[in-house]
Structure 1
């Protein structure tokens, strides 16, 4: 199945039927996400990471006005904490699906998903889902396997 126009315009990458990642979204993207059937937006990007990046509050206000659930679990690049992983896991469990998660490139969101879903899905399924979306999580999965 090829990408939809929305997926190609916004660089949306389907990890599972219920979870998609993308680079930074804009306030103007919210209406298209609603039209595409997304029910939640999960931001993993701290404000001020890049010049000109929309503030989370602006995206959240537009999303909430459009009826979407919104959560902010900001992760500074290379600084993933257990508390943030726990908060991300809860968001995945509680938020209406499908969920769009975004950060600078989508990689951080994919890493968070991989870590929090590893015990349930296992290495092969994590690698298959993330590779299909264009992300190589083999190094991360190897680290997770060594921890078991």
Structure 2
């Protein structure tokens, strides 16, 4: 389990295992967000299996799948709602953590300065400077 903090309550991670849920619960995480579509994973890692493992140890589970170029404003809003609705720390995951980091970065537009958003993602290992224009545009819509 490779949790990469973006801020004091939200981390992203590469693909999680069902067995990671108990460890995350022990660490105080309350919500898991899956950004990986079921078509990308074996049955043992599809959303239903991951949700069952999460809920078995008391974690909330949100399925907000994003496939490659299919990133939409609705997916960004769903990510923001899931983060905002969490009663504690959140971990969002996908294959490498990149999609989850992108969703977080776009969801934070208007909440944090763009430079801080990009510094947070870079600190977690995700160079997302190419999103500066999109984050700025979303910030202007707030």
TM-score strictly above 0.5: yes
Q: Distance in 1 between matches of 2:126 and 2:44?
A: 23
- Map 1:1-80 → 2, pairs under 5 A: 10-51=1-42, 54-80=45-71
The corresponding residue for 1:7 is: none
- TM-score where L is the length of structure 2: 0.90
Q: Which runs of 5+ in 1 are unaligned?
A: 1-9
| Cα distance in 1 for residues equivalent to 2:123 and 2:10 | 13
**Post-superposition, which runs of at least 4 consecutive aligned residues in structure 1 deviate over 3 A?**
50-53
SS of 2:6's equivalent in the other structure is strand
Shift of 1:50: 4.0
Q: Count how many residue pairs are aligned between Structure 1 and Structure 2.
A: 139
Q: In the alignment, which residue of structure 2 is the partner of 1:114?
A: 105
Name the SS of the counterpart of 1:119 in structure 2. Answer: coil
Q: Give the TM-score of the pair, scaled to structure 1.
A: 0.87
Q: Root-mean-square deviation (CA), in Å?
A: 1.6
Q: Indicate conservation of the 8 Å contact 2:105/2:135, yes or no.
A: no
Which residue does the alignment assign to 2:95?
Answer: 104
Give the match's secondary structure for 1:80: coil
Gaps of 5+ in 2: none
